[in-house]
Amino acid sequence: MAQGKGKGFGFGLGKIKELQEAFQKAQQVQEGAKVLQEELERMEIPGKSADGLVTVLMSGNQEPLSIEIDPSALEKGVEGLSASITEAMKAAYAESTETMRSKMEELTSGLNLPGM
């Protein structure tokens, strides 16, 4: 019995300190993620068609918010208008995705999280 005295579960004080720091970092990331989620929801990120006649607004969470169509876009016919809307949606989605990725990198930078 005397041999195991004072050894606890094999964690030294350094390991406990590392665990405390890891939990603090996790809590910071969790709080930051909540703020980031709210920020992304309020964003209005535009995407335009190549001809500039259609603009799609998406939130930072890729939620479609609105579509603006220049009246002259109607002259392109149904297929042309459909193509312009699709281009604008893809552009807004790409920008929204890049914004989200960038904001997540900012949130996790310096935390030395594996896989980030």
Q: What is the CATH number of the domain that holds 49?
A: 3.30.1310.10
Structure-token match 């500039």, residue found: 52
User: What is each CA distance from 101 to 47, 72, 84, 106, 116, in whole angstroms?
Assistant: 17, 35, 26, 9, 11
Least Cα distance to 103 among 55, 48, 49, 59 occurs for 59
Per-residue pLDDT averaged across 13-17, rounded?
Answer: 74
In one-letter notation, the amino acid at residue 17 is: K
Note whether residue 1 is domain-resident: no
Residue of 72, 95, 94 lying closest to 84 (CA atoms): 72
The reply to whether 90 falls in a domain is: yes
Domain count across the chain? 1
* Residue 3 CB neighbours (<10 A): 6
Residue 80 belongs to a domain: yes
Mean pLDDT of the chain: 84
38 assigned to some structural domain: yes
Mean pLDDT of 23-30: 80
Q: In this structure, is residue 3 part of a structural domain? A: no
Q: Does 2 fall in a domain? A: no
Q: Is 30 part of any domain? A: yes
Residue 63 lies in a domain: yes
For the segment 95-112, the average pLDDT, to the nearest whole number, is 82
**Which range of residues forms the domain containing residue 27?**
12-108
How would you classify residue 70: left for phi > 0, otherwise alpha for psi between -120 and 50, otherwise beta? beta
DSSP β-ladder status, 54-58 and 45-48: antiparallel
pLDDT of residue 35: 86
pLDDT in tens, 39-97: 889 999 999 999 999 999 999 888 999 999 999 999 999 999 999 999 999 999 999 99
- What is residue 116's predicted lDDT score, i.e. its pLDDT? 45
